[in-house]
Amino acid sequence: MLDLVTSETNATDAAIRRGDEIYSIHNTPADVGLFSKYAKVERVPIEAHTPSRTYDGRQEFDVMSARPVDGYSALYNRATDALLDVRPVSRHYALIPHDSLFEKQAALLAESDLPDDNVTVTDRIYGYGKRVHRTVVFHDLKTETRTRTGKPDRVECRMDIFNSVDLSWAFQVFSGAYRDLCRNSLVFGGAKSYHQRKIHKGHISVDAMISKAGFGLDMWMNNRHQMEVWRNSHCSEFDFQRMLKQSICRKNTRAAKHDETLAINETKLNWLLERFKEETPELGNTLWAAYNALTHYATHLPGTHTRNSNKELVATRRNDEVRKVIEGDFWRGLERNDVNG
């Protein structure tokens, strides 16, 4: 059952509540109303009170006896007046408030050369305010071509920010691209994308990380010819299978090291080969087809039965797996038309 929730800063936007998740899609990076209204979370100290007995045997607590509980704090959502968690927290823990984080992002985007007047913003809140994720798609930063059957094949740039206040997620900033035809998030290695991850400890330069993500989008646009290279680089099903067995489908277990028959994740291998076969009618036997099969794996999370709050963690891990494949020697060999990798 979905409940509609009116956005605080723009009455025309509607947020959708689904279990412990709330999300909203709008067009204004400066609109942080969803986070202000539903995820204004802070850590507050915990105090212990000495109990005493009244003359009739009831237990009371002496307010004057309050003392702080060292090493513990409460996670309190001031926006909803809800206590979310109580746990031990290091004195070095650095909490990044959700709403101020995205206010900084909006300010930096406004100051940058990135075109932020034609964007789609998707805001997500998980765990009643413990975790948040924002995606900004820049529709004016794009490349467009056509598939073998004439369908438009458009790729647009995007920026993703993840944050938590309950120690479950590190603060992460991504920038890269998004293929509209299949709704895949594209994963680029090296200078073609940006990804930085910081645990909530000590000083975190939020402004610098977001600014570098913006530079990453500029670099991606400057290197977008890479997609044309992949569209014109041959990759047969046999090539793709060899590459998978040497990388993303190879198990790193003790048993696999001693028995080659146990070294390959056959389920993942067969699933990825099926995705490759689905891509080839439109994209041909190319690295572009291989690439989109891999990003389908990273984006759509097949066979994942985790809760919503954990799916983003799985997606992050899979993005890292795919990035390693396209930065690998076999992939580079196919780019050079060297099938020996």
Residue 310: per-residue pLDDT: 63
If asked whether residues 219 and 111 sit together in one domain, one would say yes
Nearest to 176 by CA among 198, 165, 161, 166: 161
Of 207, 231, 209, the C-alpha closest to 291 is 231
Instruction: Give all strands of the β-sheet with 41-48 in edge-to-edge order.
Output: 41-48, 67-77, 82-88
Beta strands in the chain (DSSP E): 3-6, 14-18, 21-26, 41-48, 51-53, 59-61, 67-77, 82-88, 119-126, 131-146, 152-164, 171-179, 184-186, 194-198
32 and 52 in a common domain: no
Give the domain extent around 152.
22-39+94-223
For residues 77 and 183, state if they share a domain: no
Q: Does residue 17 lie within any of the structural domains?
A: no
pLDDT for 64: 57
Our CA angle for 75, 76, 79, nearest 5°, is: 145
> Residue 320's pLDDT is what?
82
Give yes or no: residues 30 and 178 share one domain: yes
Instruction: Please indicate, yes or no, whether residues 64 and 110 belong to a single structural domain of this protein.
Output: no
Looking at the fold, whether 244 and 301 belong to one and the same domain comes out as: yes
Say yes or no: 260 and 204 in one domain: no
Question: 308-326 and 287-300 helices cross at what angle (nearest 10)?
Answer: 160
Domain shared by 107 and 190, yes or no: yes
What are residue 58's phi and psi, to 5 degrees? Answer: -75, 150
Report the pLDDT value the prediction gives residue 153, as an integer from 0 to 100.
Answer: 83
One domain for residues 29 and 158:
yes
| pTM (2 d.p.) | 0.71
The pLDDT, as a whole number, for residue 10 is 52
Low-confidence ranges of the chain (pLDDT < 70): 1-14, 49-66, 180-193, 223, 255-256, 258-261, 301-312, 338-341
CA distances in angstroms from 122 to 168, 196, 276, listed in the order given = 21, 20, 29
Q: Do 105 and 164 share a structural domain?
A: yes
Distance, in Å, from the CA atom of 308 to the CA atom of 320, rounded to the nearest integer, reads 19
Residue 312 confidence (pLDDT): 64
Domain end residue (candidates: 161, 194, 223): 223
Of 223, 250, 272, the residue that ends a domain is 223
Helix (H) or strand (E) holding 322: helix 308-326
Q: Which residues contact 194 (CB under 8 A, 6 or more apart)?
A: 173, 174, 175, 176, 212, 213, 215, 216, 217, 219
